[in-house]
Amino acid sequence: MRIQINPERRLAQASPLLYGHFLEHFHRQVYGGVYDPQSPLANEHGFRSDVIEALQNIRTPIIRWPGGCFVSSYNWKKGVGENRTPVFDKSWRVEEPNTFGTDEFVQLCRDIGCEPYICTNAGTGTAEEMSDWVEYCNLPTEGEFAKWRIRNGHEKPHNVKYWSVGNENYGYWEIGAKGSEEWARLVTESAKMMQHVDPTTSLTAAALVDMDWNTRLLESCGDRLEWISLHGYWDFHHGKNETAPYTQCMAYTHDLDAPIRKVQGLLNAMGLEKKIKIAFDEWNLRAWFHPGVHTIQQAVTKEEYLDPRNGNDDNAIYTMADAVFSGCFLNMVLRHADIVGMANFAPVINTRGAIFTYPGGIVKRTTYHVFDMYVHLMGDEVIDQWVQDVPAYRVCGEQGEVDVDCIDVVSTRRSHDGAVAIALVNKHISDSQQITLTLDSPRKLTLHTLCGTSPDDYNDVGKETVVPFINNNGVEQEGLTVRLTLQPHSVNILVAE
């Protein structure tokens, strides 16, 4: 395989929001995850300081909250003020104590140093309730909700810039699911009221790869939106926590950018491609494990629908397959950085997330290290690359055999120091791959590699051996010609300074 780069030809500016995250009131993401006031590891706001530090280290740019399905029956007003009202969460069928609400979420983002992104309730919620939420967060003093925030001890507005109208309200599983016509109307009226409160809000709305849904939404409300939201999960468990093996996970990388290309095509056709970007604001190789909900027939006993959620905590699930897939996904959104402006790993804490918490500390799962490599090493400018003779890799997916590119590559340039950073993912389960790279000029090379000792390697409590390392044994350089050897099942970033 041959690669040639042209750092002088810049294709797009990659937003730092491509490395965003998602936090939902589900299982141990909030309570027992990031928010644990009783923990000896908690800071003055009740957040796990080890979690905060880990999120700061991967330069978390934005966190989307509170859902996800949870939000479609969430009453935000019960989660602020002196007296928090415990409610029954009808999405996930558990009691929501409401001790972590809007003010705690904004404080969390301040402690991390990231942007808050609030997804509103377009399930049971109304345009008025959504805009009341914007009043509470963003008006200085006017009206009852800003005054309520001040009484709650927050004199200054929270200034939440990013807002979504709804979450997956297209899906039968979502509380308050709607048809495309009803949806377009609700988003239009909600966006109108929200922007009458704060015209600076950057709005998105729940969408999917569906012409009818998106056309009606964009015709009715495209002039008020800056984003259109997409979600993606690939390994569904079909009721059992039996996750796909490595090669099947590689099959999911086939045509990975199809949703983006289709939505971009519609935005182009409607002349909106310069105004609206895609927010891929939930993505993860692994769908979350929650049997007996999201279904027509809900499970009856807690043994059937609640206890099994602990299966998400099995760290052995999150192997190099998760790291390699995530590297391919990040490469994909970088290659499409002209139209994708945000992406949120779903979720970031526990469940299928990058960080696992336990009373004594955290485990940085393999995907955490992918984010660590990308945010520290990759550039903000996506540059032109010429790639030839990409080896095909035949793998067996859910629908049978499929050929995928064995190597996934994207090239970037760092505007702050002019270095080139090329992300190269070798998907092959067992074979190293040789790459010949032609540089634009003589450069100092450092190859960073994450590969583990096997495709099924993972990190766990007391065993954190899957970490990136400097792998210059895999680099031979002769003038402008470089020969790279990429380890099997590996995520690699070549930095050329």
SS3 167: coil
> Rounded distance, CA 18 to CA 260, Å?
14
Q: Which of residues 17-46 bind ligand AHR (CB under 6 A)?
A: 24
Rounded to whole angstroms, how far apart are CA atoms 51 and 66? 18
Q: What span, in angstroms and rounded, lies between the C-alpha atoms of 104 and 243?
A: 34
Number of residues that bind ligand AHR (CB under 6 A): 10
Q: Is the dihedral of CA 245, 250, 254, 258 positive or negative?
A: positive
Mask of contacts with ligand AHR, 280-299, x by CB under 6 A?
A: --x----xx-----------
What is the C-alpha end-to-end distance of the chain, expressed in Å?
23
**Residues contacting 338, CB < 8 A, separation 6+:** 11, 12
Q: Spell out, one character per residue from 448 to 467, where the chain touches ligand AHR: x when CB under 6 A holds, - when not.
A: --------------------
Nearer to ligand AHR, 119 or 378 (CB): 119
Q: Which of 129, 132, 168, 198 binds ligand AHR (CB under 6 A)?
A: 168
Q: Which is nearer to ligand AHR, 210 or 338 (CB)?
A: 210
Specify the residue, 29 or 433, whose C-beta has the smaller distance to ligand AHR: 29
Binding map of ligand AHR across residues 93-122, x = CB under 6 A, - = no contact: ------------------------------
Residue closer to ligand AHR by CB (options 158, 231) is 231
Q: Which of 7, 61, 67, 166 forms a contact with ligand AHR (CB under 6 A)?
A: 67
Min dist CB 376 to ligand AHR, Å, is: 29
**Rounded Cα distance, 474 and 483, in Å:** 8
Measured from the CB atom, the residue of 281 and 405 that comes closer to ligand AHR is 281
Question: Could you tell me if 434 and 475 are in contact, meaning their C-beta atoms sit under 8 angstroms apart?
Answer: no
Nearer to ligand AHR, 24 or 189 (CB): 24
- Binding region for ligand AHR (CB under 6 A) out of 36-44, 63-71, 179-187, 382-390: 63-71
Residue nearest to ligand AHR (CB): 68
Neighbours of 398 (CB within 10 A): 12
**189 binds ligand AHR, rule: CB under 6 A:** no
Q: What is the dihedral of CA 179, 183, 186, 191, to 10 degrees?
A: 170
Residue 449: in which H helix or E strand, if any? strand 445-450
Task: Tell me the backbone φ, ψ of residue 194, rounded to 5 degrees.
Answer: -65, -40
Q: Note whether 281 and 344 are within 8 A (CB).
A: yes
C-alpha separations of 22 from 17, 26, 56, 259 in Å: 12, 11, 15, 20
Of 305 and 374, which has the nearer Cβ to ligand AHR?
Answer: 305
**Shortest Cβ 352–ligand AHR spacing (Å):** 9
Tell me the H-state helices in 198-257: 211-221, 246-251
Asked whether 186 and 127 are in contact (CB, 8 A), the reply is yes
Dihedral sign, Cα of residue 163, residue 145, residue 102, residue 375: positive
Nearest Cα to Cα of residue 233 among 224, 244, 223: 244
Which helix (DSSP H) or strand (DSSP E) does residue 265 occupy? Answer: helix 258-269
Q: How far is the CB of 289 from ligand AHR (least distance, A)?
A: 8
Least distance from C-beta 174 to ligand AHR, angstroms?
A: 8
- C-beta of 12 vs 287, nearer to ligand AHR: 287
Residues 299-358 that bind ligand AHR (CB under 6 A): none
Residue whose token pair is 């590689």? 250
Q: Exactly one of 29, 60, 164, 167 binds ligand AHR (CB under 6 A); which one?
A: 167
Which residue lies nearer to ligand AHR by CB, 283 or 393? Answer: 283
Nearest to 131 by CA among 67, 195, 63: 195
Cβ-based nearer residue to ligand AHR, 103 or 168? 168
For the bound state, the minimum distance from the C-beta of residue 24 to ligand AHR, rounded and expressed in Å, comes to 5
Assigned token pair, 384: 């032109």
Q: How far is CA 238 from the centre of its chain?
A: 22
Interface residue with ligand AHR among 69, 106, 425, 496 (CB under 6 A) is 69
CB of 119 to ligand AHR, least distance (A): 9
CB of 404 to ligand AHR, least distance (A): 25
Which residues contact ligand AHR (rule: CB under 6 A)? Answer: 24, 67-69, 167-168, 231, 282, 287-288
